[in-house]
């Protein structure tokens, strides 16, 4: 059954979230060397958790625009515990907002891995996403009611590339992306990235910073897979990333331990993560590949003596 947006429609919603990302991108770029940081807490690994005035000012842009144009929609944002309840009479519409994704990278004046993200949710379904790369000006985007997924550029308004995954590219010809050193991953994850005796990928790369900009390398086809470490999953990170990743046909596998007391079941288990309005935890490493690569993964598991459950 089609979703009713009242007097609004999909293109207008899409235009608004793109507008928010463009405004936030320009503000964060303008503050790139003049921002004011402060420590707001400590992360689970003991490192400081930073926030800057750029984070706060960007979130204020999102909040102002969204409240003006969608007064009945809820908002869940990263900074200052932003929670605005949905007051729509019949539907649960809410936005997740990550005003500056990759604040630690921004705080060390990094020249990559800094983003801004927004997703529109209908309950637990992601119906629109816009993710901006602060330093390149690229926007990864889709709107309600359209089957197209776009790669745009705020500096070159005429640029519009439709994102799609080439099913003929094999994993062995591609890199896999990690967001932590190999030794910090599970033994199952290390088995996947090893070059001998059963290589699945050509090699691996390691990156950091924004989760959205890291995953964009998968959406663009720069890498053939990503392994994500276990840990806390927030709405402002998970909603836009899961929305765009699933939309392009990527699938998720839990990587269970290879050995150990009390270990049962397959080494790789396909899972179906659902975006949540609250923070939740993932307990194991997760492999993300395109659905067209499943036969290759299955064949590799058979040759390596590992169990896979689809």
**Paired residues of 142 in beta bridges:** 129
pLDDT of residue 45: 76
Give me the residues of the chain with pLDDT under 50, please.
Answer: 261-262
pLDDT of residue 5: 54
pLDDT of residue 265: 66
Within 13 Å of residue 154, how many CA atoms lie on the same side as its CB?
A: 23
Domains and CATH numbers, the chain: 10-162 (3.30.540.10), 171-309 (3.40.190.80)
pLDDT of residue 43: 77
Arithmetic mean of pLDDT over the chain: 92
List b or e across 144-175, with b for residues whose CB sees 16 or more CB atoms inside 10 angstroms: beeeebbbbebeeeeeeeebebeeeeebeebb
49 close to 42: Cβ distance less than 8 angstroms:
yes
Query: How far is it, in rounded angstroms, from Cα 130 to Cα 141?
Result: 4
Phi then psi dihedrals of residue 79, to 5 deg: -90, 140
The pTM assigned to this predicted structure is 0.93
Query: How far is it, in rounded angstroms, from Cα 20 to Cα 96?
Result: 12
Helices (H), 139-276: 187-193, 211-219, 235-247
264 close to 304: Cβ distance less than 8 angstroms:
no
pLDDT (tens digit, 9 = 90+) per residue, 36-76? 999 988 877 778 888 999 999 999 999 999 999 999 999 99
Question: Distance between terminal CA atoms of the chain?
Answer: 29
Contacts of residue 176, Cβ cutoff 8 Å, sequence gap at least 6: 192, 193, 200, 201, 203, 204, 205, 223, 224, 225, 226, 227
pLDDT of residue 305: 87
pLDDT of residue 9: 84
pLDDT (tens digit, 9 = 90+) per residue, 181-230? 999 999 999 999 988 778 999 999 999 999 999 999 999 999 999 999 99
pLDDT of residue 257: 85
Structure tokens at 286: 């997760």
Query: How far is it, in rounded angstroms, from Cα 267 to Cα 280?
Result: 23
């Amino acid at each position: 059954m089609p979703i009713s947006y009242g007097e609004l429609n999909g293109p207008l919603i899409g235009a608004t979230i793109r507008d928010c990302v463009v405004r936030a991108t320009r503000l964060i770029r303008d503050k790139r060397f003049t921002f004011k940081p402060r420590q707001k807490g400590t992360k689970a690994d003991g490192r400081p958790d930073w926030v800057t005035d750029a984070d706060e000012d960007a979130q204020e842009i999102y909040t102002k625009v969204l409240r003006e144009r969608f007064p009945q929609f809820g908002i869940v944002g990263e900074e200052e515990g932003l929670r605005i309840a949905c007051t729509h009479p019949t539907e649960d519409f809410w936005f997740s907002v990550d005003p500056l994704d990759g604040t630690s990278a921004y705080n060390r004046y990094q020249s990559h891995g800094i983003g801004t993200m927004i997703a529109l949710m209908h309950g637990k379904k992601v119906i629109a996403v816009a993710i901006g790369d602060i330093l390149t000006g690229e926007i990864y985007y889709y709107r309600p009611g359209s089957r197209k997924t776009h790669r745009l550029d705020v500096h070159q308004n005429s640029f519009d590339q439709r994102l799609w995954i080439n099913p003929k590219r094999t994993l062995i010809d591609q890199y896999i992306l990690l967001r932590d050193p190999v030794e910090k991953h599970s033994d199952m994850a290390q088995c996947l990235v090893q070059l001998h005796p059963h290589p699945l990928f050509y090699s691996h790369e390691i990156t950091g910073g924004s989760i959205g900009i890291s995953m964009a390398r998968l959406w663009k086809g720069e890498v053939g897979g990503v392994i994500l470490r276990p840990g806390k999953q927030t709405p402002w990170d998970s909603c836009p990333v899961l929305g765009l990743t699933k939309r392009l046909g990527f699938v998720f596998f839990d990587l269970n331990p290879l050995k150990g007391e009390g270990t049962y079941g397959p080494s790789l288990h396909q899972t179906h993560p659902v975006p949540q309005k609250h923070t939740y935890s993932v307990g194991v490493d997760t492999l993300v590949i395109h659905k067209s690569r499943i036969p290759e993964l299955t064949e590799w598991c058979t040759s390596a003596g590992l169990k896979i459950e689809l």
